[in-house]
Amino acid sequence: MTIRFVSVLLSVVLFSGCSKTPEMAAEPAVVANDSTSEPSSESSQPKAEFAVSASQLQALGIKLLKLDRPTEIRGLTYPARVVVPPQSEQMLSAPVAGLVDQILIAEHQNVRSGDALVRLNSPEFGQLQLALMEAANGDRMARQTLDRERKLFKDGIIPQRRVYEAELAANDSQARLRQSQAALRLAGLDAGSINHVANGGALMDGLTLRAKQAGTVLALEVKPGQRVASADPLLRVANLSELWLDIQIPADRSNAWSKDQSITIVGSKLTAKPISVSALVSESQTVTLRAQVSAGDAEFSPGEFVQAQVPFANTEGAWALPIAAVVRQDGNAFVFVRTPSGFSARPVTVIASAAQLVSVEGNLKAGDEIGISNIIALKAAWLGESGGE
């Protein structure tokens, strides 16, 4: 009986708790919703304006930078190598097999167009001269035969077929003569010497190779007494009045440079003009930006490594600030602008950075004073006054 009475009593208590009106049951929920409602926009975003007195400014040691006018930052510095343009360099190679008899110049010597460089002794060169002499003799014989055949045909002594045959023979001999002359020109023999041999002059036992353009001898590849085969390299001559820079820049910045501004060479008064950027990415994930060095005194040598400062693209009209002047909050960038009562946190967009400078765009104007030191204290004051973290 006692157990049954207790069970009945518990059932009554539970039933009475569940039988409360909906209004009474919902009332605590309303209070809870009021206490956990979404924060207002003012509390979720820090206020732009916050107070900092002159004494606080001095105590915190905050320095200000007064904006004058938009200033471009020069860009990042990359390693570069001085190279000679392909059209300015000549590789002199042996036109025929032979023996290096004399080297008539020295390394790093300046030469003019037509100056003698190397003398070769070559049996093959003698064979080319002999072929020219034989072709010239054959051509003279063929022309004389043609003249005789034409005269005989005119007198009615021979048929016209003989004239045609003589004309074909003369054309063939003329072609052989031109081919022999071209072979000696390719070997480096001048026109006067070719005519001398063709007219029955003495054959030459040596061939003198000459510079085709003015320049500087960069390297000698052979020594006197050395035997060389046809097409073996002998020396390199380059015109150093025009030089290029091969600048190695990261592949992800291949389009982040200005095509209209000059590239500064660190430690030099000379500049370089961008020409092109390579389409291939190297194993080190860089691309080659090629630039033409401006004319001037010969400060650089081919193969020399220098530092080149490449200007950024699209920084015109932006403000250059110390990197410490920019703070981040919730993924956005801000600078602190001095106001009569303190500071204003103004959002900016960072468009470039180099060394200790950043280039920013935003609601800034000439005359604004920007906090540039002890910015962490200003950020704390800004977030603390607005209730931020």
Instruction: Check pLDDT > 80 for residue 313.
Output: no
Q: Binning pLDDT at 50, 70 and 90, where does residue 298 land?
A: low
Report pLDDT for 296. 60
DSSP for 5-71 reads HHHHHHHHHHHHHHTS-HHHHHHHHHHHHHHTPPPPHHHHS--SEEE--HHHHHHHT--EEE--S--
Q: Binning pLDDT at 50, 70 and 90, where does residue 4 land?
A: very low
Structure tokens at 303: 């193969």
pLDDT tens digits for 230-277?
999 999 999 988 899 999 998 887 777 777 788 889 888 888 999 988
Distance in angstroms (rounded) separating the CA atoms of residues 121 and 111:
22
The pLDDT of 78-82, averaged and rounded, is 93
Instruction: Check pLDDT > 70 for residue 7.
Output: no
- Which numeric CATH code is attached to 49-73+316-386? 2.40.420.20
Percent of the chain with pLDDT over 90: 48
The pLDDT of 122-130, averaged and rounded, is 93
Evaluate whether 76-85+242-310 and 87-238 have a shared fold.
no
Distance in angstroms (rounded) separating the CA atoms of residues 129 and 150:
32
Under 8 Å CB-to-CB from 94, ≥6 apart: which residues? Answer: 120, 228, 229, 230, 231, 232, 234
Residue that has been written with the tokens 């001048």 in this structure: 190
Q: Report the candidate in 133, 67, 80, 129 with the shortest Cα–Cα distance to residue 275.
A: 80
286: phi then psi, degrees, rounded to nearest 5 = -125, 160
The pLDDT of 184-213, averaged and rounded, is 90
Distance in angstroms (rounded) separating the CA atoms of residues 125 and 212:
20
Report pLDDT for 98. 94
What ranges do the domains of the chain cover? 49-73+316-386, 76-85+242-310, 87-238
Say which CATH architecture domain 87-238 belongs to.
Answer: Beta Barrel (2.40)
The pLDDT of 149-166, averaged and rounded, is 93
**pTM of the predicted protein model:** 0.60
DSSP for 229-292 reads -TT-EEEEEE-TTS-EEEEEEEGGGTT-B-SSSPEEETTSS-EEEEEEE-SS--TTSEEEEEEE
Instruction: Check pLDDT > 80 for residue 354.
Output: no
Q: Which of 55-59, 105-109, 161-165 has the lowest mean pLDDT?
A: 55-59
Instruction: Check pLDDT > 60 for residue 19.
Output: no
Better pLDDT: 352 or 344? 344
Better pLDDT: 361 or 194? 194
Task: Find the helix packing angle between 160-186 and 123-154, rounded to 10°.
Answer: 160
Better pLDDT: 124 or 19? 124
The pLDDT of 166-193, averaged and rounded, is 93
- Classify domain 76-85+242-310 at the CATH class level: mainly beta
